[in-house]
Amino acid sequence: MRTVSTLACKRVASGKSLRMSRICDPVTGRTLIVPMDHSVTVGPLGHADHADTTVRTLAEAGANAVVLHRGRARHVDPVHFARMALIVHLSAGTNLSLDIDAKVLVSGVDDALRLGADAVSIHVNIGSVTERRQLADFAAVSRECDTLGMPLLAMMYARGPQRSGRPTSQEIAHLAAIATDLGADMVKLDYTGATETMRTVVDSCPIPICVAGGDRAATDDAVLDLAGEILDAGVAGLSFGRNVFGASNPLVVATALSAMVHGMRPTRTNEHLGLDARLETA
């Protein structure tokens, strides 16, 4: 049976293997990625120094990687990336657009290399009016990543004007297949809504799967409950953004999620508890 560790490093070139080892823990083969590319879509996530202070917190908490646009990454102290990986996001679109599902390339793999990034990511909305363009961009980026030895994280979603409601597990498995076939090294997917159906997606996909956290949960404890349910499906990791940087206590939530991903079990996160009391080994 394949292990997560095997999946994380399988069939990649040496340059990719080196960079992937900074994203997927070499021991557990798992990863906690925190995407913070939302500001292009929705606007500022906080004060001017929000990215720098949040990335510092994530590094202290044990997160494996953060996703930033290249311009935002320039406003983060590089010292934080001594402890965590940088993934530069290449796609963009805004919620002010007439077509909110459209995504265009706003950066390239060479830009990410100059910044010292460990990987790049792209966002593809299958079912959107511009699906063809987004798939063509995916293919072009994938080829460039292979040439330059840069890992590629594909963020795949079923979104478009004819869609409503949660995608089915079959549709999510299809998204994973597209990411695999077009050359991604990792894929980010929505949660199917149940551990059993998510496990069928994992079983169908030869590349590591990270599951999105979705909309902001009602409480920090609800975030941990969701994470535990997802991890039980055998995924390679979590890609939680708003449920980390938007948490009531981002340090505590990120620390707990990192512990869960890498084999520890968090206790409840009531604010009166000390940090040491919030984590216990499994």
Strand partners, 13: none
Q: What is the DSSP annotation of 146-194?
A: HHHT--EEEEEEE--TT--SPPPHHHHHHHHHHHHHTT-SEEEE---SS
As a whole number of angstroms, the distance between CA 89 and CA 74 comes to 13
Catalytic residue among 10, 16, 103, 157, which?
157
Kind and range of the H or E run holding 52: helix 50-61
Kind and range of the H or E run holding 198: helix 195-204
Other C-beta atoms lying within 10 Å of the C-beta of residue 268: 13
Please say if 188 is a catalytic residue.
yes
As a whole number of angstroms, the distance between CA 224 and CA 215 comes to 14
Please say if 103 is a catalytic residue.
no
As a whole number of angstroms, the distance between CA 244 and CA 247 comes to 5
Catalytic residue among 16, 103, 188, 191, which?
188
| Active site amino acids | 157, 188
